Amino acid sequence: MTDYGHELLFGGFLTPDARQPEQVVARARLCEQAGLDLVTFQDHPYQPGFLDTWTLMSYLAAATSRIRLAGNVLNLPLRQPVVLARSVASLDLLSGGRVELGLGAGAFWDAIEANGGRRLAPGQAVDAVDEAIRIIREVWAADRRGGVRVDGEHYRVVGAKRGPAPAHPVGIWVGAYKPRLLRLVGRAADGWLPSLSYLPKGPAELADLNALVDEGAAAVGRDPAEVRRLLNVSGRFTRTGAGFLEGPPQQWVRELADLVLTYGTSGFILGSDDPTSIQLFAQEVAPAVRELVAAERAGSTAPGSSGSAGEGAPAGSAEDASAGSGPVAQSGSAEGGSAAGSGGSGAARPREVVRAGGTAGLAVTPTPAPQVRHSDHRLWDESTRPVAPPAPPGHVYSPQAQAVGGHLVDVHDHLRRELGEIRDLLDQVRRGVVSAGDARGVLNRMTMRQNNWTLGAYCAAYCTLVTQHHGLEDDAIFPHLRRADPGLVPVIDRLEQEHVVIHDVVEGVDRALVALIEDPERLAELQRAVDVLTDTLLSHLSYEEQNIVEPLARYGFFPGQL
């Protein structure tokens, strides 16, 4: 297994169709609203039927507020490296650090030559990419003294001034398939961005190609895990499976998670202009892949997991547990939300992580039931909840079992934190004590502005996250626990019943959001709906942890996991 431990990234790969520019912009905005991390565009400057990719990205940087932008990939033979470096840095500064650089060696050489570019042999094209990356990095190194000097065969820079530096460490992701360029990726790039449709052997080919990237990294003393592995994917969402990425969202989840854990792919970019497919990918597939991969990572140490997994983890992701080498249990910590008060403020609480060996006690503490309620509305009688059978006396929990048990609490803590953010935002809107200027930075980090429409989009995304989490439990985890321990059946039956109730509560929040959009005076209605969701969800999460954290530690999330 090769998992390089990077934070997962999900994006869209859109056609820059010049015949329907407004549709291209709308689909890019949809990618952001649906929760994707990245939107990308092919770059063929010789194609008059396409919008110019760099102009389109610049327009979209102003038309969006959160999503990252990249060419997929930019045509280097028609984009001069010094100018490209300054263009990327400028747009990154203007967009608040939302630009990545996808770079390609070039193809369709007749068209390139017809538009003023130089025709290059394959080996020359690789050398040109190498020189261009050196030039781009030198231009971005604005803090160094002296001008940029690269005396290459294809690009010659003699004293160009440095700068500007980008707002964030821009990733240089290279599209590559042949050995020499793959080794260059390992030596000099930040990421590898191939398309699955170009791999004749399908996903299995990734292993050999990854090895060439790793070989290039090792040749210069670089950790191969520094190179992010991305993948352009395409497929169809259908009711029944008909092949790889040809089936229902649950099938996509399993297959993409396998690519992460087996081949180290950490970025998936969907090649589709279909709005429904974009929404399914963003709202059903991506959160479930993150959850499944986090569960698997929690039970094993991935190569490179001790390093940084990247910035800006998107909603739905869980922080990876880092494994040490000590022989005994050591204290670790993970951010967790309080079950009381406002519904989770993000207060940290300690978590014991067993580093090696095993222990006869479960070092995971379920979250207590909430002590403060925000509504008098009760949707179930908590006194009638069944209780799980006790754990076998003296049962020894392996390190992986401890991590699996703790992962459910970590996922729930994320839900609590997000719920707390929604409550805080509603309180700010209700009291009017925060000006738009003062709140702008906070709201932008929450991927919304201080207005009702985007508040609705954020709340809707959160409700989708809750539904996705419960769907994964109902479809995979609960059936496994039913088979593993018949004594858990009454508890699982009750949990599934509560999932149905919570789904109705979520629908109530959605209805209140629609009403608020139509009438800004109906904020109190939304507040009541969120209060009911807070009380209901926090009570349910606590009950679930009290009763299935320990069984999960014994049986795992899926058959054969432990």
* Domain positions in the chain: 9-231, 331-555
Highest mean predicted confidence (pLDDT) among 353-357, 458-462, 545-549: 545-549
The pLDDT value recorded for residue 345 is: 32
Sign of CA dihedral 76, 81, 83, 88: positive
CATH number of 9-231: 3.20.20.30
The pLDDT value recorded for residue 212 is: 98
Residues 318 and 225: their CA atoms lie apart, in Å, by 19
Residues 361 and 363: their CA atoms lie apart, in Å, by 6
Residue 423: pLDDT above 90? Answer: no
Q: Within 360-488, where are the H helices?
A: 399-431, 436-445, 452-472, 478-484
Highest mean predicted confidence (pLDDT) among 188-202, 340-354, 358-372, 412-426: 188-202
Q: Does domain 331-555 have CATH number 3.40.50?
A: no
Mean pLDDT of the chain: 82
The pLDDT value recorded for residue 282 is: 93
Exposure class string for 305-340: b at 16+ Cβ within 10 A, else e: beeebbeebbbbbbbbbbbeeeeebeebebebbbbb
The answer to whether the beta carbons of residues 319 and 338 sit under 8 Å apart is: no
Residue 46: pLDDT above 90? Answer: yes
Residues 214 and 70: their CA atoms lie apart, in Å, by 24
Q: Which of 1-5, 203-207, 247-251, 357-361 has the least mean pLDDT?
A: 357-361
Residue 473: pLDDT above 90? Answer: no
The pLDDT value recorded for residue 64 is: 94
Structure tokens at 53: 């990719």
Number of residues written out for the chain = 562
9-231 and 331-555 have identical folds: no
> What's the pLDDT band for 355 if we cut at 50, 70, 90?
very low
275 contact partners, CB below 8 Å, separation of at least 6: 27, 30
Residue 447: pLDDT above 90? Answer: no
Q: Give the pTM.
A: 0.60
The answer to whether the beta carbons of residues 104 and 73 sit under 8 Å apart is: yes
Where on the phi/psi map is residue 303: left (φ > 0), alpha (ψ -120 to 50), or beta? beta
Residue 167: pLDDT above 50? Answer: yes
> What's the pLDDT band for 463 if we cut at 50, 70, 90?
low
Percentage of the chain modeled with pLDDT above 90: 59
Beta-sheet strands, E only, within 140-260: 148-151, 156-160, 172-174, 191-192, 228-233, 236-237, 246-247
- Amino acid residing at 7: E
Q: Which of 109-113, 208-212, 527-531 has the least mean pLDDT?
A: 527-531
pLDDT tens, 206-235? 999 999 999 999 999 999 999 999 999 999
Give the residue, 415 or 244, on which the prediction is more confident. Answer: 244
The pLDDT value recorded for residue 333 is: 27
The pLDDT value recorded for residue 273 is: 92
User: How do strand 68-71 and strand 265-271 relate by DSSP bridges?
Assistant: unpaired
Residue 400: pLDDT above 80? Answer: no
Residues 522 and 430: their CA atoms lie apart, in Å, by 11
